[in-house]
Amino acid sequence: MTNTNNHQATVTIPNPLGFHARPATKLSKLVKQLDATVILENSEGKQANAKKMFEILGLGLAQGDNITISSDNEVALKVVIEAIEQGLGDDLSAPEETTTENKIDYLLWQPDGKLECHQGVAASDGLVIGKIQHYKQQHFELPNEVGTASEEISQFKQALEKAKKVIEDMKQQAGKKASSEQTAIFDAHISLLSDKDMIADTISLISDGENAPKAYKKISDTRIAELSAVDNANIAARAADIRDVRNHVMNALLGIDIREFDFKEPAIICAEDLTPSDTARLKPDQVLAIITALGGPTSHSAIIARGMGMPAVVALGQKIREIPDNSTLIVDGNAGRVYINPTDEQLASAKQAQENMQALAAKDQARRMEPGQTADGTLINISANVNNAKGVPDALNSGAEGVGLMRTEFLYLESDCIPSEDVQEKAYRAMAEAMQEKPLIIRTLDIGGDKEVAYLDLNHEDNAFLGVRGIRLCFERPDLFMPQLRAICRVAKDFDNIHVMFPMISKISDWEKAKQLLDEVRESVNAPTFPVGVMIEVPSAALLAESLAQKVDFFSVGTNDLTQYTLAMDRMHPILASQADAIHPAVLNLIKMTTQAAEKHGKWVGVCGGAAGDKAAAKLLVGLGVRELSMPAPQIASVKAALREHTLAELQNLAKQALALDSAKAIREIL
């Protein structure tokens, strides 16, 4: 590639794991938005178009590498330099990858006597004992028949759409077992699926006379080989992501059903490598651990395994593929070790170590059903964020004392048409009944911003987060808002655990109008009064808390939006997202302002944003005066345990110290 750009600069890669898929994707998107030519060149003279993620990955950039950046636009060059120096969303304080050598110091179990041991790389902690079951990668039988170019191209495009639907379904399924950050991996897969260069290259081969399956496999296999050859383990591990996307498309092209894992007994899965989709399909009750010959601890399948709490060891080498099925293994996911066929005495020793670990890990779980409270008995309601009745049993079993946030927009996001009043009433009724008289807080429709619904035909907005979203959309679309209010009020006639809160309240008049509409509907269906509150998501609402507290029944702080609006940082921005920390002192001061106003007027404050499930942040929030925390169910036990360790006075003192500091980083250091 000939470089004729006039503006150049040299930058050192700061990312602890190098330029892997996420920063590469974010950089390519940023450069496309800048509409400028930007070329990257590594120390060996290899160049990449910064608009093309695969070319960026092909440079094999590791932490500390110097790259030359050139552009035909000086402003674009400065923006790209700043983005790279800030890490493109990566945590630059993260430690470098732990090596096998220093990881061995953290053995979870040490055998007495001789025992065959394979050393790999730790990917997900845990100590397990079980039988090995081998998993073989899918093989594709490619057809020789070729249709017309238009037929093959049409088949290819249809396969891309089918593959996209499969990945979206996988994301939804994985979301039940892993965090939103971990399921975001599937968003990256959808980006890979729509890579314009791969699509164009495939169509080019089809136009030259190749059929769609052979053309796509040839192009994707070339990309896989290019990444696998990169001398950077983290980037080479991304080949598994492309392989995963390739498999979905090939399945669609060849009419192959997705292979399911189904074992008679729980087993340790051994594979050459596992794709993220393979990992997401694993059933926790059937899989004890994952061991692979290839891969790395930063592979997306390893990230998902950690999110599911499934021990994993990777990069063990091909010898593990020779271990006979049903051999007994001991897997130490902390040290990256796999032991083969231990003696009875060694098994007994490992089981004792396992039991000791499980006892420690179970302490929090054992007390999960206790009321949320501080060490001196101040009650803190610990609730769960649940969107439908199916999720309630798990939440209650996790120790939830209520539902602090039911996102009603999911009724719209998961449907291909506007949910009717009856459909909504059925969903709210099922939730209220499933809650067994525990409080249920229903948030009215919050569409807009990062949540779009195609069939609503909403006008495109350049800045949707500052546009018609939340309660503003409800006012503009009474055809959406009024049926929802009627559905809620119909349920409130039969259940006294109903609470309602309005999103995106920024003015007193917003509250007054929403409350008036609700009251009119409530009276028309003869429903009783019930608690009604507002979300504190924008700074103006916090600044108006003194006035609002005289009118509302409660406040619920949405820390995700409050943080981005307070700091003027898009929480999904590739450069700024990592800086949008909910414990920034500016955000904490707004929360303190809210709790003070609420306390003065005898009202309570909850938090339903991401900070509620952060053990460190939860302590601060309680110290600030928050008395209800709502979070994903898996976080409940650990948050309850964290609060039990401190008296209210200690947490208030901690909050006081935090408010005196000038940065989120400084606050994190005292937690």
C-beta separation of 605 from 403 below 8 A: no
CA distance 501 to 630: 14
CA distance 534 to 554: 7
CA distance 105 to 101: 8
Helix axes of 239-254 and 149-174: crossing angle, nearest 10 degrees: 120
- In the 8-state DSSP scheme, what is residue 494? T
CA distance 333 to 117: 13
Smallest CA-to-CA distance from 12 within 52, 64, 59, 47 is with 64
List 20, 118, 248, 300, catalytic entry: 300
CA distance 415 to 623: 41
Based on its alpha-carbon atoms, the radius of gyration of the chain, rounded to whole angstroms, reads 27
Catalytic: 474?
Answer: no
CA distance 239 to 58: 11
Beta bridge partners of 379: 373
Angle at 664 between CA 662 and CA 667, to 5 degrees: 80
Q: Judge residue 385's burial from the number of C-beta atoms within 10 Å of its C-beta, 0-12 exposed, 13-18 middle, 19 or more buried.
A: buried
C-beta separation of 447 from 471 below 8 A: no
- In the 8-state DSSP scheme, what is residue 465? G
Catalytic: 300?
Answer: yes
Smallest CA-to-CA distance from 306 within 634, 640, 643 is with 634
List 270, 474, 489, 608, catalytic entry: 608
Positions marked catalytic: 300, 608
